[in-house]
Amino acid sequence: MEKGRSGCPINQSLEIIGDKWSLLIIRDIMFAGKRHFRELLQSEEKIASNILTNRLDKLEQEGLLSKNSDPGHKQKYIYQLTEAGIDLLPVLAEIGTWSIKHRPVDLQKYKHAGQVAKGGKEMLKEIRKGLVKVHLK
C-alpha cells in the first residue's frame, strides 16, 4: 500500500506536489479558470511545454486532475479538478497566507489571493462550492 519514501502524511503529499510547478498548475485551474494546455502554458511563471506535459500527466495519474477530450475541438483536452484536486484548496490558501506574511508578493496583481487569505473558512466554503459545481459534473 505504501508508496514512495515513507508513509508520513507530509511526505505522501510531497511525493506528488513537492515541486515548483504542480501547485501552480492546480492554482491556474482552480482560480484562473484555465482548462486547456495552451492556457496553462501562458502563466507568468513561464512553465516549459515538456514540464507542463509531465506534470499534467502525473497529476492526472495520481487522481488530482481529470482529462477529457473537448467535444468542441478534436485535438484538445479539457483538464478539470477531481475531488482530491479540489481538496487542495485549504493547502493553497495556507500557502498563500504564509507568503503574504513573509514573502515579497504582488497583491496588486494577485488581488484574489489577498481576499482568500482574509476571507477565512467561510470564504473557502463558498469557493469550494463553486469548484464542485464547475469541476465535478
122 binds a second copy (CB under 8 A): no
Q: Judged by CB under 8 A, does residue 66 bind a second copy?
A: no
Q: Which of these, 101, 99, 108, 57, lies nearest to 79 by C-alpha position?
A: 57
Q: How many residues at the interface with a second copy, by CB under 8 A?
A: 52
Does 41 bind a second copy (CB under 8 A)? Our answer is no
Residues 83, 136: contact at Cβ < 8 Å? yes
Binding segment toward a second copy, per CB under 8 A, in 52-60, 73-81, 96-104, 128-136: 96-104
Contacting a second copy (CB under 8 A), which of 81, 113, 127, 131?
A: 113
Residue 70 or 126: which CB sits closer to a second copy? Answer: 126
* Angle separating helix axes 89-102 and 22-31, nearest 10 degrees: 110
SS3 for 65? strand
Residue from 57, 70, 87, 126 in contact with a second copy (CB under 8 A): 87
Task: Report the distance separating Cα 130 and Cα 79, nearest Å.
Answer: 16
